[in-house]
Amino acid sequence: MAYIIEMLNIVKTFPGIRANDDVTLQVEEGSIHALLGENGAGKSTLMSILFGLYQPDSGVIKVRGKEVRITDPNAANDLGIGMVHQHFKLVHNFTVAENIVLGLEPRKGPLIDIASAEKRVAEISKRYGLEVDPKAKIEDITVGMQQRVEILKMLYRNADILIFDEPTAVLTPQEINELMEIMRRLTKEGKTVLLITHKLKEIKAVADVCTVLRRGRLVGTVPVKTATEAQLAEMMVGRAVSFSVDKKPAVPGEVLLDIQDLKVKNSKGVLGVKGVSLKVRRGEILGLCGIDGNGQTELVYALTGLAPVEGGKIILDGKDITHLPVRERLEAGLGHIPEDRHKHGLVLDFRLDENMVVHNFQKRPFSKFGVLDYNSIRSNAERLIKEFDVRSGEGPATPSRSLSGGNQQKAIVAREIDRSPEVLIVAQPTRGLDVGAIEYIHQRIVEERDKGKAILLVSLELDEILDLSDRIAVIFNGEIVAEVDADKTNENELGLYMAGSVRKAV
């Protein structure tokens, strides 16, 4: 059997951790080949080696049957290999066309021929069903459209082997379905797709073959048609995984978070939140769902002090926090797991143990008389790393930037849940996490509810909203269009509310 890609006996070691331990991956031409594994299993490292971002310590790479040495991404591009990274590599104040041709700009004499670039981009986007506006600025288009731009960057460079690293982590359900269709179209055109993901549903929906890694080692390669989600999950984490959340009925108490007629402007200076009123009670999880871009982000920013409020009030356990700075909100009993872990969750240049105490480093036992106590800071991190299974090569001293995206997320969740605030704002808590980690994080969120905490859960994952929530509010165009009990609704009904097709008096 002829393989377009062969990575044979690949070994890659970083300080304190062997990311790839004698891994072999063989990919057939024209297939969608999924690479599945826990956070920190070595998936992204293996694909980064294939794309020339890292060099293997040992092992052989063959492309179209010939042994190659991929020294950098330019060498990968020359071999027809392209990669869409989990965090997009786009210049936000450039246009779509300018981003796509960057580094390979067509020229008329000494000048860049932008008209020719726009025409070529339009031709490629039409051919592959990836309609984009070549003249639109990146900062003005949706995340789903930005991902199309990343795909077009590869196609513009004539890539035949397309690597997608966690491509659905920031997409809405509708955009995920569109991306799956795009992948199918690409393989019909003769392209080969390598898909790094934790999402078993997506693998079952689109992949032909799945290779599973666990703790840097190859577990096995199986045809997707004959493997069940449960089997794939067990291969990934080494044990049976529960796909449902085990929780008792909520026993709601008094209102801890009272949002009254809140109005918040978005980044374009117009109201993104238009008079939202919600109450979250002690001992319950209120899920907030909606299509991305309908005001969820602005609402969370306003609640947590990251955006100013134009009108209305935020009452936390009887105290008006509407205009308090972030630090005082935290002191008043607010916790926040942010949707953007890089922007608001971590100081990437700090060590892991420093990030674990970033909210309370000024208190005992982490500091005494204004001097940091690194023994206490380190032991706190060691406890949380073990409790939440944060995979880090150098333990507490690991630079946060060097952790995989999923392990960065686990570190943030560990810090916020360990603080156990009275009101916890949870935005996209399991984005980028594997099924084993999701199961554990869901269990810990339910434990917080059962301790009498009030939790506002904001998620684009409808399964997560339905599984975790006691009540569900739906936001559309900056307004709450429905409030329903979680056990009395389903995905279809929520979908109608999310699309604005139906409203329910609240």
- Contact between 275 and 261 under an 8 Å Cβ cutoff? The reply is yes
The pLDDT score that the predictor gives to residue 403 is 87
Picking from 471, 346, 347, the residue whose alpha carbon sits closest to that of residue 413 is: 346
- Report if residue 319 sits inside a domain: yes
Kindly give, in sequence order, each residue whose CB lies less than 8 Å from that of residue 448, ignoring residues fewer than 6 positions away. 417, 420, 424, 455
199 and 345 share one domain: no
Domain ranges, residue 305? 253-332+454-501
43 and 172 share one domain: yes
Q: How many CB atoms lie within 10 A of CB 111?
A: 8
Give the pair of three-digit tokens for residue 498: 């999310």
Cα separation of 273 and 362, whole Å? 34
267 and 174 share one domain: no
Determine which helix (DSSP H) or strand (DSSP E) holds 457, and give its type and residue range: strand 454-458
Q: Is 275 exposed, middle or buried (0-12, 13-18, 19+ CB in 10 A)?
A: middle
Picking from 363, 330, 444, 39, the residue whose alpha carbon sits closest to that of residue 213 is: 39
Determine which helix (DSSP H) or strand (DSSP E) holds 259, and give its type and residue range: strand 255-265
230 and 304 share one domain: no
99 and 58 share one domain: yes
On the question of a cis peptide bond just before residue 365, with omega within 30 degrees of 0, the verdict is yes
- Contact between 457 and 429 under an 8 Å Cβ cutoff? The reply is yes
Kindly give, in sequence order, each residue whose CB lies less than 8 Å from that of residue 300, ignoring residues fewer than 6 positions away. 306, 336, 338, 339, 425, 427, 458
pLDDT in tens, the chain (506 residues): 579 999 999 999 988 789 999 999 999 999 999 999 887 788 989 999 999 999 999 999 999 999 999 999 999 999 999 998 877 788 988 999 999 888 878 888 888 888 888 888 888 888 888 888 888 898 888 777 888 898 888 888 889 999 998 887 667 667 788 888 888 988 998 999 999 987 888 899 999 999 999 989 999 999 999 999 889 988 988 877 766 788 899 999 999 999 999 999 998 889 999 999 999 999 999 999 998 789 999 999 999 999 999 999 999 999 999 999 999 999 999 999 998 888 899 999 999 999 999 998 988 889 988 899 999 999 999 999 999 989 887 889 999 998 887 889 999 999 999 999 999 999 989 877 778 888 888 999 999 999 999 999 999 888 899 999 999 999 999 999 999 999 999 888 888 888 887 787 66
The pLDDT score that the predictor gives to residue 457 is 97
Cα separation of 131 and 202, whole Å? 23
Cα separation of 432 and 460, whole Å? 12
- Report if residue 437 sits inside a domain: no
- Report if residue 52 sits inside a domain: yes
Cα separation of 162 and 80, whole Å? 8
- Report if residue 445 sits inside a domain: no
201 and 297 share one domain: no
- Report if residue 446 sits inside a domain: no
For 192-215, letters b (16+ CB in 10 Å) and e give bbbbbbbbbebbbebbbbbbbbbb
Give the pair of three-digit tokens for residue 99: 């981003």
Q: Which of 169, 202, 237 is the last residue of a domain?
A: 237
For 26-58, letters b (16+ CB in 10 Å) and e give bbeebbbbbbbbbbbbbbbbbbbbbbbbbebee
135 and 267 share one domain: no
327 and 372 share one domain: no
342 and 328 share one domain: no
Locus of tokens 């939790």: 455
Cα separation of 145 and 41, whole Å? 29
Q: Which of 237, 269, 301 is the last residue of a domain?
A: 237
Q: Is 491 exposed, middle or buried (0-12, 13-18, 19+ CB in 10 A)?
A: middle
The pLDDT score that the predictor gives to residue 423 is 97
For 1-21, letters b (16+ CB in 10 Å) and e give eebbbbbeebebeeeebbbbb
Picking from 199, 191, 187, 99, the residue whose alpha carbon sits closest to that of residue 150 is: 99
Counting the structural domains of the chain, the total is: 3
218 and 258 share one domain: no
CATH of the domain at 15: 3.40.50.300
Cα separation of 400 and 392, whole Å? 9
- Report if residue 426 sits inside a domain: no
Q: How many residues in the chain?
A: 506
- Report if residue 449 sits inside a domain: no
Picking from 432, 435, 502, 495, the residue whose alpha carbon sits closest to that of residue 465 is: 495
- Contact between 354 and 360 under an 8 Å Cβ cutoff? The reply is no
Q: What is the DSSP letter of 342?
A: I
The pLDDT score that the predictor gives to residue 107 is 85
229 and 83 share one domain: yes
- Report if residue 365 sits inside a domain: yes
This prediction has a pTM of 0.73
The pLDDT score that the predictor gives to residue 46 is 95
147 and 228 share one domain: yes
Q: What is the DSSP letter of 140?
A: G
